[in-house]
Amino acid sequence: MAATVALGRLVSVPLREVWAHESNDFTPWLADTENLSLLADTLNLGPLQLQGTEVPVGNFFIDILARDVDDRTVVIENQFGPTDHTHLGQIMTYLAGQDGGTTVIWIAETIREEHRAAIDWLNASTIEGFNFFAVEVEALRIGNSPPAPWFNVVAKPNDWSRGVVRATRSADGGPMDDRAKAYSAYWSGFSAFLQDRRAPFKMNTSPRDYWCSFGIGRTGFVLSVTATFRDRRLGVEIYINHRAAKTAFDLLAADRQVIEAEFGGPLDWQRLDEKKACRIAVFRTDMEPNVEAQRPTQYQWFLDQMERFSRVFRDRIRVLPLDNLTESERTPAPIEAAGN
């Protein structure tokens, strides 16, 4: 008979034995890069960049303000004890103070059932770009081990129910034709692929056209992925639609040799002088987007290129000196679809 291995027992430790005070101890601990990454990994959000703690919004303060990989706002509200209506009201106040899509993470020792239901309702009912999580936090130990944090996700965005809501809204473009259905299915598969790989890129919708876009850390710049069924061409690109697009492109192009060496291969540099926008891309034409059996290989190629583009361009884009523009560069760029 095989010898049995002695197993320890998980024991819950009162939070205040680990963090004496929610705002003075727990919030600074969670704002630390390593611990913020632990929370982000649990929620499959990808890397989060801290913007500040105790950030004022009117008469209230956001416990932790961060940005995700798509440069969207992430609001984290911490609470010791069970959730209450006061904190739910503060969360709604925070939302009113944010500009654009926002992810809200409500952390407490206990999420009351009525507040879990409220988070589920917000995820099903709010407009695109707003996401809500309810998370219970514990401190656990085995025997005499140091206590370890544990995040338990009680409520999270339900992409399927959001899709149902979107489909009923005429503002989303009405019924899909065969072409739109084909692209929607293609990108839905890519979205599932990214989630399975726990990739730091998240799709909030299933596009109906041949391109989809992700943030790259600065307004006016996107990381775009394209798949044209007719031309049998796949592509990944930095699409620049900033009001100073040409200046940005020229600054990046000045480092072309270094960039391509870091990227690991040549890139297609398209200044597009007849347009306001520019692109820096890589393409391949040896695969069939319409052939379903090839899609896992295509999705993996997309992800590989996206990671290379993000590694090589993200920091460069963030530090581009585009604040002091000439009068002509201040003219807003027209809205153009990435991939055109």
Mean predicted confidence (pLDDT) in 247-270: 96
Q: How many CB atoms sit inside 10 A of residue 28's CB?
A: 15
Query: Which residues of the chain form CATH 3.40.1350.10?
Result: 10-162
pLDDT tens per residue, range 290-318: 888 899 999 999 999 999 999 999 999 99
CB 30, CB 18: distance < 8 Å: no
CATH class of 10-162: alpha beta
Greatest mean pLDDT among 43-47, 142-146, 187-191, 266-270 lies in 266-270
Q: Which of 106-120, 122-136, 326-340 has the lowest mean pLDDT?
A: 326-340
Query: Which residues of the chain form CATH 3.30.1460?
Result: 175-330
pLDDT tens per residue, range 210-236: 888 888 888 788 899 999 988 899 999
pLDDT recorded at residue 213: 85
Buried-exposed string 289-313: b where 16+ CB fall within 10 A, e elsewhere: beeeeebeebbebbbebbebbbebb
Instruction: Give the whole-number percent of the chain exceeding pLDDT 90.
Output: 38
C-alpha 318 chain-centroid distance: 17
> What ranges in the chain are assigned the alpha helix state H?
15-18, 27-31, 33-43, 85-96, 113-125, 159-167, 178-196, 245-253, 256-263, 295-318
What secondary structure does DSSP assign to 8-26, as a single string?
--EEEE-HHHH-S-IIIII
> Residue 152 and residue 106: Cα distance in Å, rounded?
12
pLDDT recorded at residue 337: 42
pLDDT recorded at residue 170: 33
CB 80, CB 110: distance < 8 Å: no
Q: The whole model's pTM is what?
A: 0.52
Token output for 340: 């055109």
Higher pLDDT, 109 or 180: 109
In the predicted model, is pLDDT for residue 243 greater than 90? no
SS3 (DSSP) at 252? helix
Fold topology of 175-330: Yope Regulator; Chain: A, (3.30.1460)
Higher pLDDT, 44 or 228: 228
pLDDT tens per residue, range 174-191: 556 788 888 888 998 998
In the predicted model, is pLDDT for residue 137 greater than 90? yes
